[in-house]
Amino acid sequence: MHAFEDRATLIANIDAMIRASKNEEKKQSSSQIGLFDGGLWKNDFDDSIVLEEAKPLSYEQQLFWEREVLGYMVSGHPLDGLKPYCQRRSRNVSELKSSLEELQEKAQKDEKKFKEDLQKNQLQTVGIVMDMRKIITKTGKNMLFLYCEGFDYDFEVTIFDKDYNEYKDKLEIGKIVIVEGTLDVNFEYRRKNIRSRKIVTASLTQVRDQAREMGLLTNEKRKLLNVQKQEEQWVSEDAPQEETSPPEENELIDNKNKFESDLEEKITENKIEKPQKNPESELVKYIVEIPVGTKIDQIHSLKDFLASQTPGQTAIYILLGGREIDTKFSLMSIEELRSWEGKHL
């Protein structure tokens, strides 16, 4: 696309290009010949389009517009060039870098010690939020789940009810997060999840500018990592998350140096652009339990029913054979769905 013109300029001139195209099409289909269409004056009247220049897109805007339109980023990854920055802002991440097979081997040798070591190890890491989900537990508590991509590894972050209000308006897809907490490993569901203790957020543009100023921006690209399917990323009733208290403060590992202190001053809440959000726009979750013996026709009937309803803020899942599956439907109201369940399931 850049071979034609700057992407922002092309987008800003779409209306002008459409009008010119329609005029040319109309001209070609007409049998009339204009006064200056040929002859001596043909080259004296230029009806070509003059594009108005627009402010270039930031690297952040370019990538996430690609993701919105195409479903994936084609120009690169948000963390490209940020390996030194991520390394300087990370600590105690050996378990995050280790494969699940390596961690399982350690756990098999001494499971109790393995779990104790994970709880004692206060890690810090950097990633970009690529997906997030809010759920309401059976006890009415709010929880946030973040799916993040780091430079060398991917990870998930769990935010419990006690921290929900503090972070709910700061977190969004595309934000850089610096997370402190302890690591949980679930071998059955092949998940590495950080129980957050503290989260600092910043925009990608802001972080890249800071990394450039500090000489921490390189040309190294992030490698494509193997990721699990989305339905396996999010916690289900089969893999419950229990809220536990963090270790005492005197047990926490705190090795912040002057670099981190200086950077913390630059990444502050008052420098982060906070878009106005409507709390009601966040998805909540409703699960339809499919009884044993349900026929496939009933499943298809449920799908047709969901497709006929008004889209809204409640994400609909089904619990089938002990597995929680996202239907990809969200409804404005679940009252009619409950009525449908009573009649057909």
Q: Are 182 and 272 contained in the same domain?
A: yes
Q: What is the pLDDT of residue 223?
A: 78
Q: Name the token pair of 181.
A: 């907490």
Does residue 39 fall inside a structural domain?
A: no
Does residue 32 fall inside a structural domain?
A: no
Q: What is the pLDDT of residue 238?
A: 42
Q: What is the pLDDT of residue 199?
A: 94
Does residue 65 fall inside a structural domain?
A: no
Q: In the 8-state DSSP scheme, what is residue 266?
A: H
Q: Are 178 and 296 contained in the same domain?
A: no
CATH number of the CATH domain containing 103: 2.40.50.140
CA distance 82 to 217: 6
Q: Are 226 and 91 contained in the same domain?
A: yes
3-state secondary structure of 9: helix
Does residue 206 fall inside a structural domain?
A: yes
Q: What is the pLDDT of residue 331?
A: 86
Does residue 116 fall inside a structural domain?
A: yes
Residue 289 structural domain: 283-344
Q: Are 231 and 328 contained in the same domain?
A: no
Which of 261, 277, 293 is at the close of a domain? 277
Does residue 13 fall inside a structural domain?
A: no
Q: What is the pLDDT of residue 121?
A: 92
Reference 151, options 203, 76, 201, 101; nearest CA is 76
Are the CB atoms for 284 and 313 separated by under 8 Å? Answer: yes
Q: What is the pLDDT of residue 59?
A: 78
Q: Are 298 and 228 contained in the same domain?
A: no
CA distance 90 to 126: 6
**Backbone φ, ψ for residue 143 (5° rounding):** -140, 145
Which of 250, 277, 304 is at the close of a domain? 277
Does residue 266 fall inside a structural domain?
A: yes
Which of 227, 255, 277 is at the close of a domain? 277
Taking the C-alpha atoms of 132, 176, 126 and 216 in order, what is their torsion angle to the nearest 10 degrees?
A: 160
Split into its structural domains, the chain has a count of 2
Q: Are 203 and 289 contained in the same domain?
A: no
Q: Are 224 and 264 contained in the same domain?
A: yes
Q: Are 153 and 201 contained in the same domain?
A: yes
Are the CB atoms for 135 and 143 separated by under 8 Å? Answer: yes
Q: What is the pLDDT of residue 82?
A: 93
- For every one of its 345 residues, what pLDDT tens digit does the chain have, with 9 covering 90 and above? 555 567 777 777 778 788 878 777 776 766 554 444 544 444 444 556 777 777 777 777 888 878 887 887 888 899 999 999 999 999 999 999 999 999 999 999 999 999 999 999 999 999 999 999 998 888 888 999 999 999 999 999 999 989 999 998 899 999 999 999 999 998 888 889 999 999 999 999 899 999 999 999 998 988 766 444 444 444 443 444 544 444 443 343 344 444 455 555 555 443 434 344 444 444 588 888 888 778 877 888 888 888 888 888 888 888 877 778 888 888 888 888 888 888 887
Q: Are 186 and 248 contained in the same domain?
A: yes
Q: What is the pLDDT of residue 107?
A: 92
CA distance 102 to 42: 74
Residue 142: count other Cβ atoms within 10 Å of its Cβ. 18
Q: Are 263 and 308 contained in the same domain?
A: no
Q: Are 118 and 194 contained in the same domain?
A: yes
Does residue 31 fall inside a structural domain?
A: no
Q: Are 136 and 167 contained in the same domain?
A: yes
